[in-house]
Structure 1
Amino acid sequence: MGISVLCVSGSHPGLFHPFLPLAVELAATPDVDVVFACTDDRKADLENAPGVRFESLGPAARGETPGSWSARTYARLDSPSRVAAYRATIEHLHAALLPTWLDRYEVLLGLAERYRPDVVVLDSQAGWGADAAISAGVPYVVNSALPVSYLFPRAMGWNHPAPMSGLPFGMGPGRQLANQLFKLLRVTAFASGPIRRAFAENVARRRRLGLPPNTGPAHYAAGARAVLGNSVFGIEYGFRRPPRTVRMVGPMLPPRGRADDRYGELFDWLDGSESVVYVALGTMMRPTGGQVRALVETARRLAPRHRLLWSLPRHRDALPAELPENLRVEEWVPQVEVLAHSAVRVFLTHGSNGSHHGLVFGKPLLVMPHSWDTRDQGMRYVHSGAALITGRASAVTADELVSGLTRLLSDPAYGHRARHWASRLRAAGGAAAAASVVLDQARTGS
């Protein structure tokens, strides 16, 4: 008999896109049937994924994806205060996702009854998927595009940087004091009236369904058969007590091939370039006029020796009418193929999981973080020796960008470390290794 796999994810691009290559890899395995339950806005992505069957979890929740955030929400989540940003994150997640939890849970119970999966695979924030798997008696595997240490706080040392602190590993006394204070002050995020009421309502609802009151990514990770970390140790910080369920499989990239004819002229441009800085700042970031001016001025100062290729899907109205000749701005580019190109020498990124794509191809990183979680990731890349990091993106200057890029372009040590991590990340196995873990759990049964 074949193996049935039910994949579950929310709509957020930082969770969905790193997960999708795993579903495609599983679907390419003989005698494996893959159903992917997600929100309706991901239907086209999943219907274009070979061998993957889409099932709807209903519409994306209001505020679930960055594109739907109000300017006020975006500003609160990007607060210069780590405590205020953490509080805003907790309030936002509960406001956006708790109202959909029960509906998604019930849909997934129906899908479990219909497809009888041997294993459920879910993104690290899709707790409704774990609840459904537990209720249906199906083992589950968690995929973590976020730092896997976020899921196992008790396995980390007391001096480990707290999630969303933006602090580095190996802190001095001053930063360690800030780290411990932040851990204490985070509890205030749960003290507001709306959050307390939401928690109470959620606990009551869970009890009516026969579910335990505990929720949260750490709770679900503890019950998983395996947790797939989309990095490797050395970039991700090590554990004091490593959980036996953790498998560091590295980033899961889509199958690579020469981009289609729509991008022929772009690759001709790359072929004719000697040195290119690739710029991609993610779907969450909303470039301000000051940030755009800083990047345009950076390109101007790096001419004529270096070119910049900027993938800018939104907010293009902030661009000036005239751009430097060495700056090319595209609405979208095939990122994996671009980063694989020999002319691309440095990746200017916001620091999320997609930044691993640069390291997979041996490109040093300049991280320009726009949130506390991307600063967390950026600190890990800096710790690896293959990256530099700027201050907050909202205050970045051309001087800061030019200084960082010049250092990365001229100092061979960064390229050497990036190539080291390219070897390590590829050896981790990516989607193929992750699929092997999932199928092993499916075969062992409940």
Structure 2
Amino acid sequence: MESARRPILFVSLPECGLLNPLLVLAGELSRQGVEDLWFATDEPRREDVCGTVRRTPVRFASLGEVIPELSAVTWPDDVYRQVTQPSRFRAHRAVIRQSYKPVLQAEKFRRLQEIVDEVRPTLMVVDCMSGFAVDLAVSRDIPFVLSVPFLPSNVLTSHHPLTKGHTPRDFPVPHSGLPRRMNLAQRVANQLFKLRTLAMFLNPAMGRVLQEDARIRKKLGLPPPNPMTRIDKAEMVLCNSVAELDYPFDIPEKVRLVGAVLPPLPETTGDDPVRKWLDDQSSVVYMGFGTITRLTREQVGSLVEVARRLADEHQVLWKLPAEQQHLLPPAGELPHNLRIESWVPSQLDVLAHPAVKAFFTHGGGNGFHEGLYFGKPLVVRPLWVNCWDQAVRGLDSRVSLTLDHPETIAVDDVVDKLTRVLTEPSFHENAERIGALQRAAGGRTAAADLILGLPALV
């Protein structure tokens, strides 16, 4: 393929859910021989970026160390409890309060300014949560592509009534977890969600943050913030989903749905003990709750009991981080059908394996789409904000079930829902249908072709 001959700069926060699709896309462009590829993210991700190199270099540009206040992985336990609490609005509010830090965002903006001055990109490809990168691209008049690892409505729906979005006014507001077909109480709750979001910014404490943001933006020469700027100013919005997973609405032409953006599989070769173990099984439930989930001892005990209840018919593979394994009962008390790994070499290889029959997940954007890409029905324990929106879409699409009380992980509830998605054929059939649609959407190769076809690179 002909080289673009002009620098392409990827920019992402370090969280896996935002970073991974862009790493795959950068790797695909490298595989196709595209020159002048750069990737800006936080310093701890240097090795991951270097690992994307295939035929042509992908040069790492450091945004510095991770700022703990901006990374959900490093938030204190009290903040974690606030952003994952059962009240969806309060959790939504807690995320905004924790992540809306103008001074810290300005640090990343200034560092990215230095990188842009060096690289002089013709095009930027930016994860949808890196507002500082969108601000810089707009202020410098650099064409940019927005990467969205969520449902399209997540970025096209306004969070409050004063901003016009690209969905109908009665559409479920992001992070509410409300369905499209609402009863009267839900319609009222949907409108209140928007009004309460607006009211949050009228609070004196948040007002001081807004004033601080205005001072910083004026000093940097930036216009007032507008949540729809990232959509309206983008050359293209690359969304890692398909329309059939979201509720129907008129999707703008610039939003291109490519399904899950995955690397070539298998990712692991040679002596992979997890794959060898899977080869010997007939039915496996895979439990993986992402990199942010922090389980309690009681929740870990409940999940061990879930595996015990499934022992007659199913094996259970559980990716449980090493730092949480001290919460497990003694090894001698674990059920024989439970295999625990602190890390699996490739979650994608696990989900692609024919022995895996269901995925028990937190419902994050990547995991939700990846499980369905491989035709696996889901049981969802929503962790926070966007997870609730994916969970309700999955429920209405008949590809998943959602726990009644995710915060407690009631054993009977989990076993009942896992049994249903494992035994009722419709869940598997619908998941296979969505998987076929995602594969037809083209994934990483379609995304790469769309980027290389943009006027900025021609």
User: 1:262-341 residue pairs with structure 2 within 5 A?
Assistant: 263=272, 265-313=273-321, 314-321=323-330, 322-333=333-344, 334-341=346-353
User: 1:35-434 residue pairs with structure 2 within 5 A?
Assistant: 35-50=38-53, 51-95=57-101, 98-153=102-157, 154-216=165-227, 218-239=228-249, 241-257=250-266, 259-261=268-270, 263=272, 265-313=273-321, 314-321=323-330, 322-333=333-344, 334-353=346-365, 354-434=367-447
The separation in 2 between residues aligned to 1:73 and 1:392, in whole angstroms, is 20
The letter for the 1-side match of 2:373 is V
Tell me, yes or no, if structure 1 residue 16 matches structure 2 residue 9.
Answer: no
User: What is the count of residue pairs matched by the alignment?
Assistant: 440
Cα offset for 1:244? Answer: 1.9
Indicate the SS of the match to 1:3.
coil
The letter for the 2-side match of 1:111 is I
The letter for the 1-side match of 2:300 is V
Cα offset for 1:42? Answer: 1.0
Alignment deviations for residues 121-172 of structure 1 (CA, whole Å, 9 cap, x no partner)? 0000111112222233210010011322122222112221111111122122
Contact 2:82 2:91 in 1 (8 A): yes
The separation in 2 between residues aligned to 1:41 and 1:434, in whole angstroms, is 26
Indicate the SS of the match to 1:155.
coil
The separation in 2 between residues aligned to 1:367 and 1:324, in whole angstroms, is 23
The separation in 2 between residues aligned to 1:109 and 1:28, in whole angstroms, is 28
Unaligned runs of 5+ in 1: none
CA RMSD for the aligned pairs?
1.7
Cα offset for 1:100? Answer: 2.6
Contact 2:43 2:65 in 1 (8 A): yes
TM (norm. structure 1) is: 0.94
Q: 1:109 to 1:430 in 2, by over 3 A?
A: same
The separation in 1 between residues aligned to 2:132 and 2:229, in whole angstroms, is 12
Unaligned runs of 5+ in 2: 158-164
The separation in 1 between residues aligned to 2:27 and 2:248, in whole angstroms, is 30
Alignment deviations for residues 189-210 of structure 1 (CA, whole Å, 9 cap, x no partner)? 2233332112112112212222
The letter for the 2-side match of 1:244 is E
The separation in 1 between residues aligned to 2:105 and 2:324, in whole angstroms, is 32
Single out whichever of 158-167 and 144-153 deviates more from structure 2. Answer: 144-153
The separation in 2 between residues aligned to 1:63 and 1:210, in whole angstroms, is 25
Q: 1:412 to 1:121 in 2, by over 3 A?
A: same
TM (norm. structure 2) is: 0.92
Tell me, yes or no, if structure 1 residue 30 matches structure 2 residue 42.
Answer: no
Tell me, yes or no, if structure 1 residue 5 matches structure 2 residue 8.
Answer: yes
